[in-house]
Amino acid sequence: MGKKIRILMIDDEEDFTEPMSFWLKSQDKDVRTVTSGKAGLEEIAKDPPDVVLLDIFMPGMNGVDTLKEIRKINSDIPIIMLTSAVVENVQEAYSMAEITKLKVSGFFKKKDSFEELANLLEITLRLHKGLEGGE
Amino acid sequence: MNQIVIIVVSVTAIVSVAIALVLVRIAKINASLDLRRTAAAVGKEKDAADLSAIEKEISEAVSSTKDKKELAKKLGETFGKEIKRHAEAVEAETSRKYEKVIEERKASEQIVARRYKKVLQDKKQTEAIMQSVAEGLVVVDKKGKVLLMNPAAEKILDTKREDKINKSLLADLKDGQLVSLAKEGRKKDAGPKTIEFKSNQDETQKVIRSSSAVVQNENGQTVGMVSVLTDITKQRELDKMKANFVNTVTHEFRTPIVAMQKSILVMLSGATGRINDAQEKFLSIAKRNLERLNLLIDDLLNLSKLEERKMSLTLSNCSLEEVINDVSETVNTWAESKAIFIKKNLQPDLPKPYADPNRIAQVMNNLLSNAIKFTPQKGTITVEAKAIEKGKMVQVSVADSGIGMEKGDEEKIFDKFFQIGERTTTNVTGTGLGLPITKEIVEMHNGEIWVESVKGQGSTFIFTLPVID
């Protein structure tokens, strides 16, 4: 099967998305990157990817709001939240409850390794085939 | 004509005599009646028999009607005088008593008036105090109806005293205005409670701390409650801002570190092309130090929260055996890689200190990690736990057979960023904040921590935790 996995990364930090995207491409994935929630919504509406990597902490429309909007137009595309793992971050902690309700496939801590990212992607896509994503 | 005159004169004479006799008879009756009346009036309860006895005696003593009359009159006068005198005495007595009562009454009234005045004064004084106190004061009766409220309370609750007196404190709050109210505990919990509600004026939310105490009368019955209200809205905002600041700062630090780390990792992975040994070496150095930076930020965040007492403890009866066993397992692989044996000597039936198990795990992790770090190959680490002070405290010690420390460093070791001697360079050695954080945690639990060490032989870190029932 030659079809490449198509990933959409929504994150305003270009210095982060560049190495991420480069590495994912080196793993034979197709990667699109946008820097705002709004742009992400447009992409998903126009041409949905196989999986979305969504940053929580963004200016403008933040990750949680973007998630809500995505779920309005697409209720089962797998979404992995990207977090800087500041657990004590009140804003993020607050969002955890809302996020869990909105069907998220998993969380990737930005400081974790590429291998862990690959793992998470594999599990997510495998689970998603024929199942609803998230708990 | 003469015959008529004789008849008239005779008749007149007879009639006169008859009238005189009747008069005498009347007088006699009157006299005896007087006697009776007099006798009765004097108050002596004499029988009719006695009266007639008196009459009889008088009658015997006195022969003529005129004398009888005279006697009766005299008796009457005497009795009359007696009665009058007696009556006057009684009147005087009564009058005196009456006056005395009046005076006593006046005196009582004066006392009452004085006391009332004092009460008014006291009340005014209390009111003055209540008016000027900056905190809000509210006094409610047993049913929760407002009895007293000072201006500060009016301001805090955005209401007027007149609107609240005799009503329940929370009456009239519009729907949705009261955001949260910690329920008044049935246990008369005197701890401060927090109330949040939306103020009437602006749509801002206010946060109020309420500290209450029951009011008891002299019989020990609860008659009401007095609450001190403090507006802590600004304080809360400030706390939020501070928390936000710390979080924002850590986020700001983490973001560039992540970017650098990912860039380096992507090169190290070979995705950017083959790298030579030198490139690998230096990229690895960069990677390692970025990890150190990450840990440093975590520790700094930890420490700053601890120091500001922002880190709250989730306390429970903590099973030290569980914590120690769990942590030992986590570090076991590492210890085994250095052929270090971790020996455990835990007292059976160890009392359970009231502690936060996650934080104690953090402490054990730090102490065990340090022990492993500073113990060479094939060393031994001994973990001991026992009750001391007759079960009022537990003591845990982690002893290693490592490099020990200089005499005099036993205190400094708990300072921030103090690190001993040579550090092995190939692994992440730590941030120098582990022990200060450990110390904070132990002391937050009201425990103590110290170290006993001999250079070249090893160190023993000991900490205590109180056992609270």
- Whether residue B312 contacts residue B441, with contact meaning beta carbons closer than 8 Å, is answered with no
Chain A CB within 8 Å of residue B271 CB: yes
Nearest chain B residue to A28 by CA distance is B271
In a domain, residue A135? The reply is no
Task: For tokens 């994150």, name the residue.
Answer: A11
> What pLDDT sits at residue B239?
75
Structure tokens at B8: 């008239």
Give B333→chain A minimum CA distance, Å.
21
Q: Identify all chain A residues contacting B251, using CB atoms and an 8 Å cutoff.
A: 57, 84, 86, 89
CATH topology (fold) of B314-469? Heat Shock Protein 90 (3.30.565)
Distance CA B133, CA B114 (A): 28
Chain A CB within 8 Å of residue B258 CB: yes
Distance CA B115, CA B111 (A): 6
Chain B CB within 8 Å of residue A86 CB: yes
Q: What CATH number did the domain enclosing A56 receive?
A: 3.40.50.2300
What integer is the mean pLDDT of B263-277? Answer: 94
Question: Closest Cα to residue A29, out of B263, B271, B275, B270?
Answer: B271
Of B250, B258, B266, the CB nearest to A23: B266
Distance CA B75, CA B78 (A): 5
The reply to whether residue B259 touches residue A19, judged by beta carbons under 8 angstroms, is yes
B184 pLDDT above the threshold of 60 = no
Instruction: Tally Cβ neighbours within 10 Å of residue B60.
Output: 8
ipTM value, please give it.
Answer: 0.85
Residue B191 DSSP class: S
A38-49 confidence digits (pLDDT tens)? 999 999 999 999
- Is the pTM value of this prediction over 0.95? no
Question: Closest Cα to residue A117, out of A83, A68, A71, A94?
Answer: A83
Nearest chain B residue to A15 by CA distance is B259
Provide the residue count of chain B.
Answer: 469
Residue B422's pLDDT band, with cuts at 50, 70 and 90, is very low
> What pLDDT sits at residue B306?
72
- B134-231 in CATH: which number? 3.30.450.20
In a domain, residue A132? The reply is no
For chain B, give the mean pLDDT.
79
Instruction: Tally Cβ neighbours within 10 Å of residue A56.
Output: 24
Task: For tokens 């729907």, name the residue.
Answer: B175
| A106-109/B136-141 β-pairing | unpaired
> What pLDDT sits at residue B268?
95
The ranges assigned to domains in chain B are: 1-132, 134-231, 314-469
B428 pLDDT above the threshold of 70 = no
Size of interface A-B (CB pairs under 8 A): 65
Chain A CB within 8 Å of residue B312 CB: no
Chain B CB within 8 Å of residue A26 CB: yes
Q: In total, how many domains does chain A have?
A: 1
- Whether residue A54 contacts residue A7, with contact meaning beta carbons closer than 8 Å, is answered with no
Chain B CB within 8 Å of residue A28 CB: no
Structure tokens at B199: 């103020």
Q: What is the span of the domain harbouring residue A28?
A: 5-124
Distance CA B125, CA B32 (A): 78
> What pLDDT sits at residue B32?
57
Residue A33, beta-bridge partner list: A9
Question: CA–CA distance from B348 to each of A54, B326, B386 (Å)?
Answer: 51, 17, 8
Task: For tokens 């106190």, name the residue.
Answer: B133
B270 pLDDT above the threshold of 80 = yes
What integer is the mean pLDDT of B181-189? Answer: 43
The reply to whether residue A84 touches residue B256, judged by beta carbons under 8 angstroms, is no
> What pLDDT sits at residue A80?
94
- Whether residue A82 contacts residue A37, with contact meaning beta carbons closer than 8 Å, is answered with no
* Interface test mutation site (partner B, options A53, A87, A89, max chain B beta carbons within 10 A): A89
Mark residue B437 as left, alpha or beta (left: phi above 0; alpha: psi -120 to 50; beta: remaining): alpha
> What pLDDT sits at residue B58?
67
Q: Specify the higher pLDDT residue, B303 or A72.
A: A72
Give A118→chain B minimum CA distance, Å.
13
List Cβ neighbours of B171 (8 Å cut-off, separation of 6 or more): B164
- Whether residue B351 contacts residue B427, with contact meaning beta carbons closer than 8 Å, is answered with no
B306-331 confidence digits (pLDDT tens)? 766 655 677 788 899 999 998 888 88
> What pLDDT sits at residue B426?
38
B45-80 confidence digits (pLDDT tens)? 445 555 566 677 767 766 667 777 788 888 888 888
- Whether residue B365 contacts residue B327, with contact meaning beta carbons closer than 8 Å, is answered with yes
Q: Identify all chain A residues contacting B255, using CB atoms and an 8 Å cutoff.
A: 13, 16, 84
Which residue type occupies B317? N
